[in-house]
Every structure is written in C-alpha cells, then in structure tokens.
Amino acid sequence: MIVLALLCMFPLIHVLAVSFSSNSAASAGLVSLWPVGFNLKSYEFVLQKEEFLRSVGVSVQRVVLGSLIQMLLIVITAYPLSMEVTRFRLRTAYAWYFLITILFGGGLIPTYMVIKDMGMLDTIWALLIPSAVPVFSVVLLLNFYRGLPKELEEAAFIDGANHLRTLFSIILPLSLPAIATLLLFSMVGHWNAWFDGLLYMNRPENYPLQSYLQTLIINNDFKATTAEELQMLKSISNRSVKAAQIFLGALPILLVYPFLQKYFMKGIVLGSVKE
C-alpha cells in the first residue's frame, strides 16, 4: 500500500517540483522530485493572469451551486425510492424511469440542441442542469436509506412527523457518511469537468478552470496572452507555468478532501434503536 501510495503521489510531486524550478532546468527536463533553481516566478505569472483568476471564479461558482443542487435532488429522490412497494406503489416504475437513463442517452447533438433551445448557452446553468440528478449517486443513497432501522421512521410517524420532517430531522442526520461521500463525488466531478465547458461556452471568459487549462495546455492556445505576458514568458519556462496552473487547479480538492474523509466510516447508526 505504501508503494502504491508513492506511485500515486509521484506525478503530483513531479508537477510541483517543475512549477518551482528555473527556466533552464524545467526546459531541459532536469527536474524529477525536487525543484532545480527554486523560484516563484511561475506562480507570480499565473496568479496575475486575469483569464486564470476568472476561470477559477467560474469553477468555484459551479462547484458551490452544482453541489448544492445535486445533493438536494439526490436526497429528495432517493428517499421515496427507498420505501417498500406497499408504501409507495409506483416505486418500481419510478426506479426504472431513472435507471433507464444510465443505459441509454440522447446523444451529444440532441443534448446540445436542448441546451441551446432552452437558452442556457454561455450561462452557468448549462454546466449545472444536465448533471443535476446523477442516478448512480441516487442508487447509492437509496441503498443506504434501506439499511437504516425502520423503527426510527415509524417512531417519527407515531410522534406526528410527516415525510419531510422525518427525512430532514431523522434520516438525513444519520446519513452523514453517505452524504459526505456523495458530496465529495459531486465536488470533484464539477471541479474536474472540462468538456461541457468547451461545448456549451462560446466565449473563453466563461470557461471553467479545467476547460481553460485544456485549451492552454493541450491545444497551446495563447491568443488571449498579452504582449507583456509574452515578454515575461521569456524569463520563465512554459513547462513550469503549465505545471503551476495544473497544481493550482488540483489544490482546492486536495484541501477539501481531508475534512470530508472523517465521515467515511460505517456503523453510524449502531445503537440508535433501543429495545
């Protein structure tokens, strides 16, 4: 496990070392796991780029809004689907209605036409609405709900609680491990998504961070680079600049993950039902 962990960390450490290295060392490929000719010029160049900071703002907005929308819809969709057929007779029909979307899709062109006809091109909603209900996450959460003791729900109903009160006051607090896991999936998914940004955004200033990095690093598109920035690029390596942007793009998820990891546990409801 230690060896596997080191193998997973190696690319990130290498990218970090390149981002802190000098122009000559990075261009010559002399950097491995430790910076050569340590300097911060690449980060200074990246952090003063208006396009980079704007794309970060779009990605932050997407992660916050997208995660909130996804988690709300996942919770209120999974709860009724987790009930028995005797309590929700159309449960099977609705379950197949959602599951069929995993097996079949409308295709790229029809999806684009729907987004266009709804007037969502070049708006943040084009990045949020198509993925608002991830069915796989719904299936995970409804299976978690089914594992909770039914006596808790019955006791809430006896005390006069309705379904919404039971969901948000009883079921949801007991579902924190599953909610935290799905929240992390949602945040990472929104933060790393790049293709829909290229597809639905006609103006580069509306690109989320990963779409911006894709056009800059993969396609080498420097059309938006000013003359002053091109002059500064002469003193720093293009490789170190790209490495700095890649590391800054991954940094937010690296910072968030440790705070959610504590919820990845089992047995959260042990002892919750007293005889």
Quote the pLDDT of residue 132: 93
Instruction: Give SS3 for 43.
Output: helix
Rg value, the chain, Cα: 23
Q: Is the pLDDT of residue 264 over 90?
A: no
Q: Give CA–CA dist 134/62, Å, rounded.
A: 16
Cβ distance 263 to 174 under 8 Å? no
pLDDT digit string, tens, across residues 172-185: 988 888 888 888 88
What percentage of the chain has pLDDT greater than the value 90? 28
Q: Give the containing element (helix H, strand E) for 233.
A: helix 227-233
d(CA 54, CA 217): 17
Q: What is the pLDDT of residue 234?
A: 59
| Amino acid at the residue 67 | S
For 66, the enclosing helix (H) or strand (E) is helix 50-81
pLDDT tens digit string along 59-68?
999 999 999 9
Q: What is the mean pLDDT of residues 128-140?
A: 92
How does pLDDT run across 217-253, given as a tens digit for each residue? 766 555 555 556 555 655 677 788 888 888 888 888 8
Distance CA 111, CA 114 (A): 5
Of the chain, the percentage scoring pLDDT greater than 70 comes to 87
pLDDT in tens, 62-118: 999 999 999 999 999 999 998 888 888 888 899 899 989 888 888 889 999 999 999
**pLDDT number for residue 235:** 62
Torsion, Cα 116 120 123 125, to 10 degrees, reads -130
* Mean pLDDT computed over every residue of the chain: 84
271 pLDDT more than 70: no
pLDDT greater than 50 at residue 5:
yes
Q: 137 versus 214: which is more confidently predicted?
A: 137
The region, left, alpha or beta by phi > 0 then psi within -120 to 50, assigned to residue 7 is alpha
Of residues 126, 145, 129, 127, the one with CA closest to residue 69: 129
Q: Is residue 257 scored above 60 in pLDDT? A: yes
Mean pLDDT, range 194-211, rounded to an integer: 90
